[in-house]
């Protein structure tokens, strides 16, 4: 029997990258907020520069909840299951995965909000793949711009603007939509190698620019600048130069006195009043005890797979197929960013990738989105070329031998010894679309440590993604070869297993028949339930999702504070 707790205004389930952002505007507006977080507080002492611990053993995830619920995957409903990942990529802790992410903090480009209408207008509606379920967003970039701006300045993002209020600056991304002002900090510095790539791109007539990152390039908000120490991928920052929500928005929300953080607490159910159909609170498990936390409004912010899983697990008489799922849309329109179809290059010289971080690099957007003419092509969308600095010993030794040496023995050892610092991998983020047969549901057999079914992914890349992949590989290979590479290796198209960039499943849109939440992030079926994260996004663009998900979270929170009575009391 769950222990009943005192009612609060808002419960946020998960205080990660997006829940940690939403807490700030809510508490600043005077609302009492309880953040129910599966992980614990971590400190810089937890962030050892240790590749084995961070990248292979899944780092101290403070509660190993995520690892017990790694989603299962099959490419389609008739296919066998893929091998299950040994560890979950995401983090359980206050700050969530923003503690150990790479911190690239991209805005989407204008086209990403209007894929259907822009494509139809420019090339004809037949260019949208037949089984794609893609829709235009309910608003354009201009609506989200003020929220991008707020988040960039609250977290601290370094970068070089490419378009300030319509004035294009060639030092930045000339394809970005207009922004109000410069980034709060200049970009992270480049390396000799990323400068070589930038110079080469310019020679090709392309437009290279430094990527934006939620990492201090100089002191910001009493936190120091980055020391480029090289253990940033799946490593937390020992000096707080990486602007996770654990060191930025969450402490500011706690300082208002209105955010209570309940740690090591796993939400298992969102509770509904059987008469009114309204949400009354959540059930969570802490230690061996169960609690009921009543709230006027519940915001789910537990990452795409868990957002969908919690909805599907929360069955009631009013919602027999899972919460907010009477329209059968929970789990639909799922997709994960296409970062397969990689290109690896071998250079005849050392490139000094031992120091630095993966958010420190050079980008080219000439082949992203609809920044180029697709008239003679047979796909829509494109990719972002990104060359960055990141290398640690085990990863370095896992290098491909480019067909120039065997994969074992003394010839392999001497090849790796000579070339461990002479190769570079580009994963190229590419447009991915949602399709009618790509979806999330509950696995019928695999359970987590509480005995609850884990999320199951049924999804694969389709023709459009594979064609974008092959096109982008050509561009990337050309860039590397022009920069002096002596060999390139192109990776396979891959499949859509558990991803760090997982979109959809609770898509946002005005049409209640094809979407779970409305344009403000609130459920079409249960009006005092909000959903935060990339699970509400309907397109991926060619850039990482987190800044967009955070801007959306701020916007949802802002809407809630301005419409509190209507949403909280129905």
CB of 513 to ligand FAD, least distance (A): 25
Please name every residue paired with 270 in a beta bridge, in sequence order, or none if there are none. Answer: 282
Half-sphere exposure in the Cβ direction for 433 (13 Å, CA): 28
- Residue 241 interacting with ligand SF4 (CB under 6 A): yes
Interacting span for ligand SF4 (CB under 6 A) from 30-38, 221-229, 318-326, 446-454? 221-229
Say how many C-beta atoms besides its own lie within 10 A of residue 340's C-beta.
18
Q: Which is nearer to ligand FAD, 39 or 485 (CB)?
A: 39
Sequence-distant (≥ 6) Cβ neighbours of residue 297 within 8 angstroms? 9, 10, 11, 279, 528, 529, 530, 560, 567, 568
Q: Where in 339-478 does DSSP place strands (E)?
A: 343-346, 361-364, 383-388, 423-426, 429-430, 439-447, 453-458
Burial (CB count within 10 angstroms: exposed 0-12, middle 13-18, buried 19+), residue 315: middle
Contact of residue 267 among ligand FAD, ligand SF4, none (CB under 5-8 Å per partner type) = ligand FAD
Interacting span for ligand SF4 (CB under 6 A) from 238-246, 291-299, 385-393, 525-533? 238-246
| Residue 283 DSSP one-character state | E
- Residue 234 interacting with ligand SF4 (CB under 6 A): no
- Residue 229 interacting with ligand SF4 (CB under 6 A): yes
CB of 387 to ligand SF4, least distance (A): 17
* Residues found near ligand FAD in the complex (CB under 6 A): 13-19, 36-39, 89-93, 96-98, 100-104, 233-234, 266-267, 301-303, 306, 359, 500-501, 533-534, 544-546, 549
Q: How far apart are CA 104 and CA 215, in angstroms?
A: 8
Applying CB under 6 A, which of residues 70, 94, 232, 537 lies at the interface with ligand SF4? 232
- Residue 226 interacting with ligand SF4 (CB under 6 A): yes
| 3 state SS of 267 | strand
- Residue 426 interacting with ligand SF4 (CB under 6 A): no
Applying CB under 6 A, which of residues 115, 116, 237, 468 lies at the interface with ligand SF4? 237
Q: Which is nearer to ligand SF4, 146 or 238 (CB)?
A: 238
Contact of residue 237 among ligand SF4, ligand FAD, none (CB under 5-8 Å per partner type) = ligand SF4
Placement of tokens 């005849």 in the chain? 348
CB of 97 to ligand FAD, least distance (A): 3
- Residue 228 interacting with ligand SF4 (CB under 6 A): yes
Q: Which is nearer to ligand FAD, 464 or 544 (CB)?
A: 544
Which two three-digit tokens encode residue 486?
């002596």
- Residue 185 interacting with ligand SF4 (CB under 6 A): no
CB of 17 to ligand FAD, least distance (A): 3
- Residue 566 interacting with ligand SF4 (CB under 6 A): no
Q: Which is nearer to ligand FAD, 103 or 134 (CB)?
A: 103
Q: Which of 423, 453, 449, 452 is nearest to 441 (CA)?
A: 453
Are 377 and 123 in contact by the 8 Å Cβ rule? The answer is: no
Contact of residue 345 among ligand FAD, ligand SF4, none (CB under 5-8 Å per partner type) = none
Q: How far apart are CA 279 and CA 527, in angstroms?
A: 8
Half-sphere exposure in the Cβ direction for 25 (13 Å, CA): 23
Q: How far apart are CA 25 and CA 31, in angstroms?
A: 9
Query: Which residue sits closest to ligand FAD, CB atoms considered?
Result: 16
Contact of residue 104 among ligand FAD, ligand SF4, none (CB under 5-8 Å per partner type) = ligand FAD
CB of 482 to ligand FAD, least distance (A): 26
Q: Which is nearer to ligand FAD, 39 or 469 (CB)?
A: 39
- Residue 357 interacting with ligand SF4 (CB under 6 A): yes
Q: Which of 307, 359, 213 is nearest to 502 (CA)?
A: 307
Q: Which is nearer to ligand SF4, 72 or 360 (CB)?
A: 360
| 3 state SS of 294 | strand
CB of 416 to ligand SF4, least distance (A): 25
Q: How far apart are CA 308 and CA 113, in angstroms?
A: 23
Q: Which is nearer to ligand FAD, 17 or 551 (CB)?
A: 17
Q: Which is nearer to ligand FAD, 233 or 366 (CB)?
A: 233
Q: Which is nearer to ligand SF4, 194 or 473 (CB)?
A: 194
Q: Which is nearer to ligand SF4, 99 or 330 (CB)?
A: 99
Contact of residue 226 among ligand SF4, ligand FAD, none (CB under 5-8 Å per partner type) = ligand SF4
Q: Which is nearer to ligand SF4, 99 or 380 (CB)?
A: 99
Applying CB under 6 A, which of residues 204, 239, 264, 481 lies at the interface with ligand SF4? 239
Sequence-distant (≥ 6) Cβ neighbours of residue 257 within 8 angstroms? none
Measured in residues, the chain has a length of 570
| 3 state SS of 452 | coil
- Residue 114 interacting with ligand SF4 (CB under 6 A): no
Contact of residue 119 among ligand FAD, ligand SF4, none (CB under 5-8 Å per partner type) = none
In angstroms, how far is CA 396 from the centroid of its own chain?
25
Q: What is the dihedral of CA 135, 89, 34, 533, to 10 degrees?
A: -10
Contact of residue 42 among ligand SF4, ligand FAD, none (CB under 5-8 Å per partner type) = none
Half-sphere exposure in the Cβ direction for 548 (13 Å, CA): 26
Which two three-digit tokens encode residue 137?
């967003």
Are 530 and 499 in contact by the 8 Å Cβ rule? The answer is: no
Are 12 and 92 in contact by the 8 Å Cβ rule? The answer is: no
- Give the footprint of ligand SF4 on this chain (CB under 6 A): 215, 226-229, 232, 235, 237, 239, 241-242, 357
């Amino acid at each position: 029997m769950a222990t009943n707790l005192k009612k609060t205004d808002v419960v946020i389930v998960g205080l990660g990258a997006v829940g940690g952002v939403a807490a700030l505007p809510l508490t600043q507006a005077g609302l009492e907020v309880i953040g129910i977080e599966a992980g614990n507080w971590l400190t810089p002492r937890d962030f050892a520069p240790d590749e084995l611990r961070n990248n292979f053993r899944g780092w101290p995830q403070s509660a190993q909840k995520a690892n017990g619920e790694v989603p299962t995957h099959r490419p389609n409903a008739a296919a066998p299951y893929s091998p299950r990942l040994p560890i979950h990529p995401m983090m359980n802790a206050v700050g969530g995965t923003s503690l150990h992410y790479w911190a690239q903090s991209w805005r989407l480009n204008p086209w990403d909000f209007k894929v259907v209408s822009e494509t139809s207008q420019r090339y004809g509606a037949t260019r949208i793949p037949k089984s794609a379920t893609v829709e235009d967003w309910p608003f354009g970039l201009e609506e989200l711009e003020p929220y991008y701006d707020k988040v960039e300045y609250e977290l601290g993002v370094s970068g070089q603007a490419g378009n300030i209020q319509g004035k294009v600056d060639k030092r930045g991304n000339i394809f970005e939509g207009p922004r109000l002002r410069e980034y709060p900090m200049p970009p992270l510095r480049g390396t000799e190698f990323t400068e070589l790539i930038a110079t080469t791109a310019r020679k090709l007539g392309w437009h290279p620019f430094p990527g934006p990152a939620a990492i201090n390039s100089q002191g910001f908000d009493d936190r120091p600048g980055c020391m480029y120490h090289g253990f940033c991928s799946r490593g937390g920052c020992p000096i707080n130069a990486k602007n996770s929500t654990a060191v930025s928005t969450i402490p500011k929300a706690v300082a208002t006195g209105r955010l209570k953080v309940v740690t090591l607490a796993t939400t298992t159910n969102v509770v509904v009043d059987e008469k009114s159909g309204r949400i009354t609170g959540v059930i969570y498990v802490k230690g061996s005890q169960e609690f009921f936390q009543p709230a006027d409004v519940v915001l789910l912010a537990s990452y795409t797979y868990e957002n969908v899983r919690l909805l599907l697990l929360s069955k009631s008489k009013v919602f027999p197929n899972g919460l907010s799922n009477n329209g059968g849309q929970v789990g639909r329109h799922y997709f994960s960013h296409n970062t397969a179809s990689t290109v690896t290059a071998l250079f005849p010289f050392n490139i000094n990738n031992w120091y630095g971080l993966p958010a420190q690099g050079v980008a080219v957007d000439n082949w992203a989105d609809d920044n180029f003419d697709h008239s003679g092509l047979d796909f829509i969308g494109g990719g972002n070329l990104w060359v960055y600095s990141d290398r640690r010993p085990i990863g370095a030794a896992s290098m491909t031998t480019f067909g120039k040496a065997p994969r074992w023995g003394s010839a392999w050892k001497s090849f790796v010894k000579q070339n461990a610092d002479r190769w570079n991998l580009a994963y190229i983020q590419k447009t991915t679309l949602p399709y009618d047969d790509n979806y999330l549901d509950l696995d019928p057999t695999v359970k987590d440590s509480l005995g609850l079914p884990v999320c199951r992914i049924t999804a694969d890349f389709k023709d459009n993604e594979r064609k974008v992949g092959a096109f982008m590989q050509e561009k990337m290979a050309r860039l590397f070869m022009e920069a002096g590479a002596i060999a390139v290796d192109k990776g396979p198209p891959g499949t859509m297993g558990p991803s760090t960039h997982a979109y959809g499943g609770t898509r946002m849109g005005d049409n209640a028949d094809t979407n779970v939440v409305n344009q403000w992030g609130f459920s079409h079926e249960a009006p005092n339930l909000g959903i935060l994260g990339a699970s509400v996004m309907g397109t991926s663009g060619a850039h990482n999702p987190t800044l967009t998900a955070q801007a959306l979270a701020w916007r949802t929170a802002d809407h809630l504070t301005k419409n509190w009575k209507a949403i909280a009391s129905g």
